[in-house]
Amino acid sequence: DAGVTQSPTHLIKTRGQQVTLRCSPKSGHDTVSWYQQALGQGPQFIFQYYEEEERQRGNFPDRFSGHQFPNYSSELNVNALLLGDSALYLCASSLAQPRGGQFFGPGTRLTVL
Amino acid sequence: QQQVKQSPQSLIVQKGGISIINCAYENTAFDYFPWYQQFPGKGPALLIAIRPDVSEKKEGRFTISFNKSAKQFSLHIMDSQPGDSATYFCAPTGLTGNQFYFGTGTSLTVIP
């Protein structure tokens, strides 16, 4: 049973560019959350998707957007990249019910130059 | 997000010793209290979690102690091993929300 998978593993972009990150949830999970983790910090919640809708959003600007597909996989899009967007982007999947822990993927390391 | 405060920031323990990490929270709506373990270059992994209807949960060498009135919960690692060296995060969440609020992390080093 594959866990949460993310692609790509690493990505280098320049300021102003746009990026798309992808996530496939753990088998059987229907909810996907995205987090940004800066070096030496805890993960910060970006948003969560359930039934192809954004269910909750953290304190991130509209440059961060997402999508969930019918097969529960998800994309995170970041527009107009800033240097400060450099971080590890983590995808986590879970069940809507019964609610329990989130299972994380290995992350995508984004570097903005 | 200051809803969760984790301490200490770093911890050095001798092999075989007990590691204790604490988490204090503000939101009384939290009803699920997990601890995550993260190794360098990896995503966080769920280690152990507790719900507020019990005060303690033990899984192998890992124990969560929960104090609802003090709004605190802690992770105890018994017989700490060098392989436990990692960063640990508390990340409570609540009934009305789906957001997990991560603490700032505790870097644990277990010396052989």
Interval B36-69: pLDDT, tens: 999 998 899 999 999 888 999 999 999 999 999 9
Give percent of chain B with pLDDT exceeding 90: 79
Measured between CB atoms, does A105 come within 8 Å of chain B? yes
CB contact B44 to A (< 8 Å) = yes
| Degrees, nearest 5: CA angle B27-B32-B33 | 85
pLDDT, position A3 = 92
Tens digit of each residue's pLDDT (9 = 90 or more) over A48-90: 999 999 998 999 999 999 999 999 999 999 999 999 999 999 9
Which residues from B are below 8 Å from A92, CB to CB? Answer: 43, 100
Integer Cα distance of B34 and B49 in angstroms: 4
The number of C-alpha atoms within 13 Å of B50 and in the hemisphere containing its C-beta is 22
* Contacts with B102 from chain A: Cβ below 8 Å: 35, 42-45
The amino acid occupying position B88 is: Y
- Quote the minimal CA–CA distance from B8 to chain A in Å: 14
Nearest chain A residue to B92 by CA distance is A101
Q: Residue B110 in contact with residue B10, Cβ under 8 Å?
A: no
- pLDDT score for B105: 95
Task: Tell me the average pLDDT of chain B.
Answer: 92
Q: Could you give the C-alpha distances from A94 to A2, B70, B111, in angstroms and in order?
A: 14, 29, 35
Read out DSSP for B13-25?
Answer: EETTS-EEEEEEE
Q: Give contacts of A59 with chain B, Cβ < 8 Å.
A: 1
Q: B89 in contact with A at a CB cutoff of 8 Å? A: yes
pLDDT in tens, A12-61: 999 999 999 999 999 989 999 999 999 888 999 999 999 999 998 999 99
pLDDT band at B95 (very low <50, low <70, confident <90, very high): low
Number of residues that this document lists for chain A: 113
Whether omega for the bond prior to residue B8 falls within 30 degrees of 0, making it cis, is yes
**Chain A positions in Cβ-Cβ contact with residue B42 (cut-off 8 Å):** 106-107
pLDDT of amino acid B31? 87
Question: Are residues B100 and A99, on separate chains, in Cβ contact within 8 Å?
Answer: no
